Structure formats: structure tokens, C-alpha cells
Structure 1
Amino acid sequence: MNQLAPLSLVLLATASGNALATQYLSPEQAQQVIFPEATLFKAQPVQLTLDQMKQVEKLAAVPARSVSWRVVQAYKDDKLLGYIFFDDVIGKFELISYAVGLQADGLVRQVEIMAYRESHGFEIRNANWRKQFIGKNAGAGMQIGDGIANISGATLSCSHVTDGVRRIAAIVQVLYKK
């Protein structure tokens, strides 16, 4: 058996630009990328009440989906800089893992794709596409075609990540009354 064959396949897959099951950032790396000035990160898991879930659904216009959320608060010394929510949404068939950083005032600071497992649509990792979320909240032009552009060939990934970011922004508004 040719021992170079597996290496050739890896090189061919890499050269094609189609990444499958690619882990880009760990949660800890995402925290540092989103809040590089932070001196402390504190895990603050969130449990939504039924009433809060209803408020989130109304604000985001998508189901609240889960009662429990993995959240980390970022601090510089004693000052709260903001929140990082970790979530997964379905692309077309596979999960997309991402992190959303929100400032203490509840506006989106940054979106990072942590892992992408689809054969198409990885263009959502493009910084220009992700920058469209910055400075927005759940009600401020955060839908495909209304503040967020679609990417041809990545329609479901774009839609599902956009819905997820809008849901998270709504959770922050409901929880922290922003």
C-alpha cells in the first residue's frame, strides 16, 4: 500500500478549499479573540424561565430553543466588558459551532465561527460577512435581507447563524434588560 496516499488525500482536500469538520477556535480561544483586553473570564451559565423564553421568542421572532445556555462574562479588572454565548446551529446537515460576543450594553461585538462541519457554505467564516452583526441588537436589522446579506451557496448556514445570533441578542436583552 502506498503510504503517501493518505497524505495526498489530505493535501487534495486542503487545496480544494472545502473544509470538512474543521475546528477553528476552542471556546477559550474564542473568548480571547472576542475580548482580547479582558483580564478575567467567569462562567455564568444561564437558565431561562418560561416567561423569559416567551419574551425571547417575541423579540427574536424565532423559537428560544433552549432553557440552558453556556455563557461567559468578560471582565477587565472589576469592570464587566460583556458576555460570550456559545451555541450550535444546524447548517444544512451538520452543526455549526459559534460564539457571540456582546458588549455590556447588549450590542453585538463580534461573531466567531468555532467549528464548521459542512462541505459547502464555509464562507460564513469570512470576516466581512460576520462584521454585519456588529453594533446590532435583536431588533436592529438582523435578518437575511434586512441588515445581513446572504451568501450564495451558504443560504442555510447564513440563515441559521443569523437566527442564532438574533436569538442570543434577544436573550441578553431579556436577561439584562438592555
Structure 2
Amino acid sequence: MTWVRYTLPAAAMMSIASPAYAVQYLSIEQAQKQAFPSATRFIEMQAGRVWKAEAGGQVAGFFIFDRVVGKHLFIDYAVALTPGGAVHSVEILQYRESYGGEIRGPGWLAQFVGKTGDSALKVNGDIRNIAGATLSSMHVTEGVKRVLATYGNRLR
């Protein structure tokens, strides 16, 4: 019965470990409508990743879904670009970490508005860090920079 003496404490620790924490804030469709409320349709340009928003037959902008790793788990986010390729908005769609969800704050996300592929986009530079969410802050910032580098000039 020696195995019981070693197994039971491990089993007890596993049962009281904190559960996975995931919050789905917005679906892709909800985020699209929030980013471009006047859009009459979204045309999928890249399966499950890039859409063109149109309003009254005119391009209202582009909506790009992306995913980065926070500290350990994925963060789903979306970047809405103006027709000229600047950031219109950034929204966190799903956050899975147990802490650091402050990156979803409107003040923090507003820092990206107007940024282009030429912007520095660096945490502790033009984007402020969030204590307790340093890796999530850095990774979302790097993700937005990657989205701008990949799509900012190509979608016009």
C-alpha cells in the first residue's frame, strides 16, 4: 500500500488545481459588426481569416482574424483596417489565460488605432505594457504588427 501514500497527495493536488479559464467575448461575426457597423456585407477573401467589409458598394475596410500565444494559451483577436491599411480597431475575441485579461481594456486597445505598417509598435515604446500581462501585451502587439506587415499594403 506504499503507492497509496504517494499517489493520493498527487491526486489531491490535481483535483484542486485551478481550472482552465477561457472567456469568449465576441464571435467573429459580432466583432465584424462592431468594427464596421455600417457594413452591409463581409466578403471572405481568405478562408476564416480575412474579410472585406462593404457598405453601399464601397469598401469600408478589412477585418483580419488572428491568434497569438499569451503566456501559455492562445488569444484570439481581430484587427480591423481602414481601406488605406491603418488600424481602425483591435478587439480581443477570446482570452484563455487565468490572468492578464486587462489587455481587453478599451484604453489599451485604443493605442493601436491609426497605426500603420510604418509604426514602431513596440511595448514600452508606442504601446504601453500592462503589469501582470507582459507576455500577452507583447504578443498581441507583435501580432498586430505582423497583420499590418502582411495585409496593410496588400488589401488596398
Bin the TM-score by the shorter chain.
Answer: 0.7 to 0.9
CA distance in structure 2 between the aligned counterparts of 1:130 and 1:25, rounded to whole angstroms: 15
Matches within 5 A, 1:1-178: 20-45=21-46, 70-176=49-155
Deviation per CA, 1:57-108: give whole Å up to 9, x if none: xxxxxxxxxxxx7101100021001111001100000000001000000000
Matches of 1:173 and 1:23, distance apart in 2:
27
Deviation at 1:174, TM superposition (A): 4.2
Report the residue type matching 2:110 in the other structure: K
Q: Which has the larger radius of gyration?
A: 2
Cα deviation, 1:33-62, whole Å, max 9, x if unaligned, reads 11011111111107xxxxxxxxxxxxxxxx
Q: What is the SS of the residue equivalent to 2:34?
A: helix
Give the 3-state SS of the residue equivalent to 2:50 in structure 1: strand
By relative contact order (CA 8 Å, sep 6+), the higher-ranking structure is 1
Partner of 1:55: none
SS at 1:152 equivalent: coil
The percent identity for this pair of structures is: 45
1:173 is displaced (CA, Å) by 3.0
Gaps of 5+ in 1: 1-12, 14-18, 47-68
RMSD value, Cα: 1.7
Which 4+ stretches in 1 moved above 4 angstroms? Answer: none
Q: CA–CA distance in 2 between the matches of 1:136 and 1:80?
A: 19
Aligned equivalents of 1:166, 1:127: Cα separation in 2: 18
Normalising by structure 1, we get a TM-score of: 0.74
Count of aligned residue pairs for this structure pair: 138
CA-to-aligned-CA distance 1:121-154 (integer Å, 9 cap, x gap): 1000000000000001122131112210000000
Is the contact made by 1:124 and 1:154 (CA closer than 8 Å) also made in structure 2?
yes
> SS where residue 154 of structure 2 aligns?
helix
Q: Which runs of 5+ in 2 are unaligned?
A: 1-17
Distance (Å, rounded) in 1 between the aligned partners of 2:97 and 2:67: 13
Contact 1:103 / 1:109 at 8 angstroms: preserved in 2? yes
Q: Is the 8 A contact 1:40 1:77 kept in 2?
A: no
